[in-house]
Amino acid sequence: AMISSAMRIAALILVMGLTACGTFGKGAPSTTSPVEPVRVPTTALVPTPAPASFVRSTAEVQVTRTIDVREGVTHAQGMRMLTDALNERFTVDVADPRAGFVMTEWQSSLRNGVPDLRYRTRVTARFLGEDWRRLQLRHEANWARGDEWDIGYDAPQLDSVTADLRTKLGKR
């Protein structure tokens, strides 16, 4: 096969370039002082731990709370009170007044005033039964570990949201 002179020159340039790259910075050995390789300190990336409030769990009992709704609260009042209370801390993403269901958007936590996209929480609430005398509250939290999410809940946040909703909707 015939190889053109342009192809020979291109191959020669490639080989010379690779050879130059392989010897770059090595220099000629000196007889008076040995050349020491430059040592760059290596530090392993230490994974950041999840927030202390995060509890890893998939157990329904741990992530769910039930509130007894006081007498006299109509379906419309209950939904309005629930969405207003959740909107104080979260952004309501889904609200179905006929089903008595509300779900907030995932919300990232703040670390040093900056959103930490590795940790997110959300709340889901559903009135139970036809009379809506009970409100089931479910809390979810996710902590990103690499490409995967650890699943659980944020214990203080769940307790705080439960106490707030119990004050607004619960029996007195």
The Cα 77–Cα 165 span in angstroms is 13
pTM (2 d.p.): 0.69
CB 67 within 8 A of CB 165: yes
Nearest to 100, CA basis, from 121, 69, 58? 69
What does each of the 172 residues of the chain score in pLDDT, given as a tens digit? 555 555 556 555 655 555 555 544 555 554 555 566 666 555 555 567 888 999 998 888 788 999 999 999 999 999 999 999 999 999 999 999 999 999 999 999 887 888 889 999 999 999 999 999 999 999 999 999 888 999 999 999 999 999 999 999 998 7
* Alpha-carbon radius of gyration of the chain: 31
The token pair at 3 is: 């190889």
